[in-house]
Structure formats: structure tokens, C-alpha cells
Structure 1
Amino acid sequence: MDYDDAYANVPHIPDGESYPPRWASEAAAFRQARAPGCDDLGVPYGDTPRQAYDLLRPKTAPKGTLVFVHGGYWLRFDRSFWSHFAMGALARGWSVAMPSYDLCPDVRIADITRQIARAIQTIAKVEPGSLALAGHSAGGHLVSRMAQPGLLPTDITDRINTITPISPVSDLRPLLHTAMNAQFQLTEATAAAASPALMADRLAIPTHIWVGADERPVFLDQARWQADAWSCPLRIDKGRHHFDIIDALKDPESPLMRDILV
């Protein structure tokens, strides 16, 4: 298998290279159109500039907070690309927190996992009520890791209603065979330790895994591996690929949003 090609999304999605700049433009326009003072942008949760989150609030008292963790193979992007994907949750009366995090190779994937746990703890201290976790691609991996016992305090995990990994990377061992591993610096042991599909113990938090029917075969495999290991539902979204599967986050009545916000 050519692992680099198998795990490459852009070359296999029509006009794939146009998605990131389009996301960034739509996200910026969405933030600009928001009422002044209703959101908190760039709230720090750690000691580096990228350890910060944006909190977008609904028009009424929030029912809870959705924490959405972005993807990009732990190598690229930040919170500024995704603001408009908060539309669905905001319309349903939920706040949405979107953290950035440090990227490989400056840090390791295990470090990023701990950063996301720190971000969730910081958010939970100031935002009361229920929590929902969702993440896309590498973000799906990161929210899945939050089900590891002891990573988050019990008083916070007790508030998490759902975990929704979208097109997640659940077993990191195949990435050892990609050129990206020069930046990840994974070993067989660290890849296994960081893989949600291999987590022997996990918290009993309701989980639904989503993947696009038109995704690369390895992403369908990754989603199935986690769903089988976790004995949780797997939703295969017909006609969707790795980039447009998250469009459903903008629709408050989409099946994806119904799984995320129960």
C-alpha cells in the first residue's frame, strides 16, 4: 500500500485545494457578522499563543457548550477556519467553544491530547451545564481520547453528554508508514498508546462515529475500527467526503447535529 496516497484527501476530492481558503473566508465573515460583545475570542487556556479558544454564544441563555476540535493531521489549521460551523449548535441554543492547539513537529500528538484536555477543563470552569465533544479528522482522534479514564476530572466527564468523532483517525499505527511521521515522530509504542481504537479502558460516554461514504477507504476503515472497538454506532453519510461531511454542523436539524446535541 502507498500509505501517503491512501491518507491524502486533497488530491482525491474535487477542487479539494479550494476548501481551506473557503473555510477561512466564510469563518471570518461569520465572526464579523456576529453582534459585538456576544463572543469571547482568543481566550487563553495554556502558555503558548496557540493554546487559546473562541467561545461563540447563542442569543439566549445557553443549554450547554459544544467543544469542537478541528483537524488537519495535527499539522495545520487553527480555530479561525471553523467559526461558521458553529451555526447549527448556536441555532439550537448551545454555546460553541473552538480551541486551537500547538502543532507537530513543535509538540507531539500526546502533548496535543493533553492540551485539549486542558482546554476542556478551562472551558468547563467558566461555562456551566452540559458538555458535548465533537471533532473532525485529527480532531475526532482528540475528542475520542478524552474518554480515557483520568485524562479529565470526574466532575467534568460527568457533564459530557456525547462524544462525536467525525472521520476520525482512530489507529495511529498506519501513520508510521507515511512521510508525515517525520513530523509526528511516532513509534510503534507511542502510536498504539495514542490510538482510541486500542484503548482497553474508556469512560461510558455515549459515542456516535460519523464518516462520509465517499471518503478514502482508509478513513472508512478507521471509523469502523473505532466503532467496532467501542461497540458504538457508526453513521456512514451517503454522498459525503472528508471535507464536506462537516457541512452538516451548520444545519441545526441535521442527523449529525441530532447525534451531537441530545
Structure 2
Amino acid sequence: MRYDEAFENAKHIPGGAGYPPRWAAKAAEFRDSLGDRARLGLSYGGSGANWFDLFLPADVPEGLLVFIHGGYWLRFGPRDFSHLAQGALAHGWAVAMPAYTLAPAAKISAMTAEIAAALGVVATEVAGPIVVAGHSAGGHLAARIACLGLKLPGDVAEHLRRVAPISPLSDLRPLMETTMNDELRLDAAEARAESPALLARRPGLPVHIWVGGDERPVFLDQARRLGNAWACPVTIDPGKHHFDVIEGLEDAASPLLSALLG
């Protein structure tokens, strides 16, 4: 298909195939290290995929970071990325990582609705401000939370402090011309309705986009396109590719974490 190569990441990253197993191993070790500060498998809805893990700091949380995993809406889950909570926990923030129904079992619009529903439940677990971040397809879902037309449960919108899409997919129309659309099942109407770059941002909600300087050109373009559409900052992290750009979330002193938590 026309855009298959453009959206291919692993084959263009040295040792790309080794990242997912390392993520899973680090994530499991991190969860084990937290003991009862890791509250696992909490429900937010009726589907088997409607659950989240919540990681708590040692003291009363300063706020809540919600991290949405990527994987082209097709693969991975929150427990592949638990270790990315480390930096925010060091700052005293709680971290929630929601699961969502993957394609082909769900369409992207349904995933957006699930993440919105998850926010309504995770917000009842931790008081204070909420920052929503996500990577790649999760960056798309994070950006959708910042879209004006999406209704959020309860008073979630009032507690949103910032949304931080990391290497987000912001215009979904090219994905209709990829092989993975056999499973995503995007058509023109849904691609437009689910593209943050084609939608309005919630007034007054800060958004900061982050992308690796060594990412595939299409991801740099997708990040810049959203930044231009929403007139919000886009940080290009030098030397980072699509798989290691998220590693700053592990480091309490990283520029990425500072951009998220302020």
C-alpha cells in the first residue's frame, strides 16, 4: 500500500525488534518493586479491555498523570509500559495507565470513547490536576481528549491541566492507504472525525507536543501538523527515535517530564 513504508518504525531503528521485550521486562520489574502502591486491573467499564493500572507515590499525590500506550491501535497494552511511571512518581504524582479495546475488535472512534470513559473513573481515584499523555497511537488518543467536541465525564475537563501527545498520529487519512487499515477499518468519515489536526482544541487547555528528531519523516510531519493546527509548542527531541523518545518519562529530571508536569 502507498504509505506502508512511511509508517514503518521497527525496521528503521537499529535493534528495533528488541525494544518490546525489554519494555515488558522492565515494566514487570517496576510493578513488582512498588508492592501495594501498584493497584492493578481496576475496572472502568463493562468490556474485558476496560481496565487500568494505578501507581501511587509514597505520599499524597500532587496530581494524576494518565499515560495511554501506543501500538497503532493494534498491539501492546499498559503493562508493556508500566516503568514509564517512574519519573512522575518521583515528583509525587500518581500515574494511571488505561487499557482499551484494540483493532480489529474495535474501531478508533470506540477507543476514543473508552479512553474518555476511563478518565471519568481514574479521576475519582486521585484528587487534583490531571495531565494526559500518550505515545504514537496513544498520542492520538491523548490529543483527542484535548478536542473541543469530545464530551468528558463529570468534571474531568475542569481538572485537565495539560495534554502532551508524544509522537502522535494527528491526521489519520493517510492510514487508509496502509495494509494495517485491513484491521483498523478506517473510512473517510471516521478518519476525518478522529483526526485531531482537523478538529478544534478545547479553549484554554495547554497542549505540548513532543517528537523525536530521528523519527520517520511522517511522524515529524504529523507532530508539526498538529502543532500548526492548534498553535501549540512542538518540541523536537534531538537524537531520539520513535521507540526511545518515551524514555524521558522514566527520568524525574528529563525535559520531557518537565514539559508534562510543568
Q: How does 1:38-187 map to 2 (within 5 A)?
A: 38-149=37-148, 150-153=150-153, 155-187=155-187
Deviation, structure 1 residue 200: 3.3
Q: Judge which range, 156-165 or 193-202, deviates more.
A: 193-202
2 CA distance for matches of 1:85 and 1:221? 25
Amino acid aligned to 1:199: L
Q: Which residue matches 1:10? A: 10
Cα deviations by residue, 1:14-36 (Å, 9 ceiling, x for unpaired): 010100011000100111111x3
1 CA distance for matches of 2:203 and 2:197? 13
Identify unmatched segments of 5+ residues in structure 1. none
Amino acid aligned to 1:249: L
Cα deviations by residue, 1:160-213 (Å, 9 ceiling, x for unpaired): 111000000000000010001111111111101100000035342101101101
TM-score (norm 2): 0.97
TM-score (norm 1): 0.97
Where 2:36 maps in the other structure, the secondary structure is coil
Q: Which residue matches 1:210? A: 210
Where 1:227 maps in the other structure, the secondary structure is helix
2 CA distance for matches of 1:88 and 1:130? 17
1 CA distance for matches of 2:241 and 2:38? 31
2 CA distance for matches of 1:155 and 1:8? 39
Amino acid aligned to 2:63: G
1 CA distance for matches of 2:116 and 2:85? 20
Is 2:65–2:95's contact at 8 Å kept on the other side of the alignment?
yes
2 CA distance for matches of 1:42 and 1:133? 19
Where 1:6 maps in the other structure, the secondary structure is coil
Aligned residues: 261
Is 2:117–2:153's contact at 8 Å kept on the other side of the alignment?
no
Is 2:201–2:230's contact at 8 Å kept on the other side of the alignment?
no
Q: Which residue matches 1:240? A: 240
Amino acid aligned to 1:198: L
Cα deviations by residue, 1:129-164 (Å, 9 ceiling, x for unpaired): 110000000000001101223421462111111100
2 CA distance for matches of 1:117 and 1:181? 23
Q: How does 1:217-256 map to 2 (within 5 A)?
A: 217-256=217-256
1 CA distance for matches of 2:147 and 2:238? 31
**Where does structure 1 differ by over 4 angstroms across 4 or more consecutive aligned residues?**
none
Identity of aligned pairs, percent?
51
